[in-house]
């Protein structure tokens, strides 16, 4: 007689139970051997004796002290901005760095860190993130000032140094928030001075400090310090194909920062002296064999228009004006023209030496604040 399906199932269950029972006995029997496999240690083996280190070197001590003193003045900035339209909106998050400017709770950072942000939060040392609002911004110099909404007690403004007496080769230190990693210290030297740094609106920041101290995304707006712990620059950009530090970073010099920040706190914007023209790259004037700035556009009603300046029209073959000097000082590029107008200031008059074709003439042009137009 063949076993039915119930009998076969009962036999299989009994066999499985027997196998499990034997396996359990085997494990219990060998448990001590298995434990010994992981916990046993050869006889007479002990940890190595720890060598006494001794004091840190004098240079190490000074860097440790610099960081401990300076970290309370550094701000770690987190931003949110709404991007897109209607149903395709999303919130983009960003990080950056900054530093405490004064006891009123003003914090200096880069313009590109906070520009367009709908929400700004700041973390100071070990504090919780604190809300902040934008006070002033100067995209032409990539600088901005924000202010803590609820100012905590015992703020520690950063000590301010000078950048005019910096030397290539002297030690510098950057503290910031690279890749969102707060309280990061990097060290290096001043690797070059007098650089110019292009910014988004076609202007250039003059006398920029170049350093090999590692500066990465998130370091933007943080302080560059000298070996005395004084602010000498604001870290702002790197030169890299990969987007990470390649040993060439740039910082806005503190002498320039010290001029701009008080104006941003007081006015919210920075006066931009100008005469109402659009100019071409100096390469156009060079092709014409002239050192100067070719006028490519004149704003209607502007001081340039009132003074009769005429733009080039390359398609129609119209020859326009080339500015070759301001107050009898030669200008060969946009940066030199901007510096000359800034030196005269809003409300002043610039005497331009202008060439049109073979004719040269002097034109008096009033300087206005282009930001107020």
Q: Which residues are catalytic?
A: 112, 142, 220
Segment 201-204 long-range contacts (CB within 8 Å, at least 24 positions apart) = 201/139, 201/140, 202/334, 203/140, 203/334, 203/335, 203/338, 204/334, 204/335
- Distance (Å, whole) CA 107 – CA 76: 10
Q: Is the separation of the CB atoms in 323 and 292 below 8 Å?
A: yes
Backbone angles phi, psi at 63, to 5 degrees: -70, -40
296 in Cβ contact with 283 (< 8 Å): no
Cβ 294 vs Cβ 278: under 8 Å? no
What CA–CA distances, in Å, run from 258 to 139, 143, 145?
16, 11, 12
Please check whether residue 239 is in contact with residue 101, taking contact to mean a CB–CB distance below 8 angstroms.
no
């Amino acid at each position: 007689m063949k076993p039915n399906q119930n009998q076969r199932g009962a036999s299989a269950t009994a066999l499985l139970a027997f196998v499990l029972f034997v396996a359990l006995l085997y494990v219990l029997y060998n448990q001590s051997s298995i434990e010994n496999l992981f916990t046993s240690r050869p006889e007479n083996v002990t940890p190595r004796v720890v060598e006494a280190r001794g004091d840190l070197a004098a240079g190490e001590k000074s860097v440790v002290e610099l960081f401990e003193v300076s970290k309370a003045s550094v701000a770690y900035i987190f931003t949110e901005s709404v991007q897109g339209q209607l149903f395709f909106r999303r919130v983009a998050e960003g990080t950056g760095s900054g530093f405490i400017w004064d006891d009123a709770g003003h914090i200096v950072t880069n313009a590109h860190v906070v520009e367009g942000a709908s929400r700004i939060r700041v973390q100071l040392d070990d504090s919780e993130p604190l809300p902040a609002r934008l006070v002033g911004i100067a995209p032409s110099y990539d600088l901005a000032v924000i202010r803590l909404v609820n100012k905590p007690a015992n703020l520690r403004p950063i000590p301010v140094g000078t950048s005019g007496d910096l030397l290539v080769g002297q030690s510098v230190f950057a503290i910031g928030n690279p890749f969102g990693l707060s309280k990061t210290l990097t060290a290096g030297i001043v690797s070059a001075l007098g650089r110019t740094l292009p910014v988004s609106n076609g202007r250039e920041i003059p006398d920029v400090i170049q350093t090999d101290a590692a500066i990465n995304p998130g370091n933007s707006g943080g302080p560059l310090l000298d070996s005395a712990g004084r602010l000498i620059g604001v870290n702002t950009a790197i030169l890299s194909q990969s987007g990470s530090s390649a040993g060439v970073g740039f910082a806005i010099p503190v002498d320039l920062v010290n001029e701009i920040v008080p104006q941003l706190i007081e006015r919210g914007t920075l006066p931009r002296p100008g005469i109402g023209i659009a100019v071409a790259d100096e390469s156009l004037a060079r092709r014409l064999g002239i050192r100067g700035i070719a006028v490519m556009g004149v704003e209607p009603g502007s001081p340039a228009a009132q003074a009769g300046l005429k733009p080039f029209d390359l398609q129609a073959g119209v020859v326009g004006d080339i500015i070759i000097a301001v107050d009898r000082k030669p200008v060969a590029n946009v940066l030199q023209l901007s510096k000359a107008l800034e030196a005269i200031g809003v409300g002043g008059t610039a005497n331009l030496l202008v060439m049109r074709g073979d004719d040269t003439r002097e034109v008096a042009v009033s300087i206005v604040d282009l930001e107020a137009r």
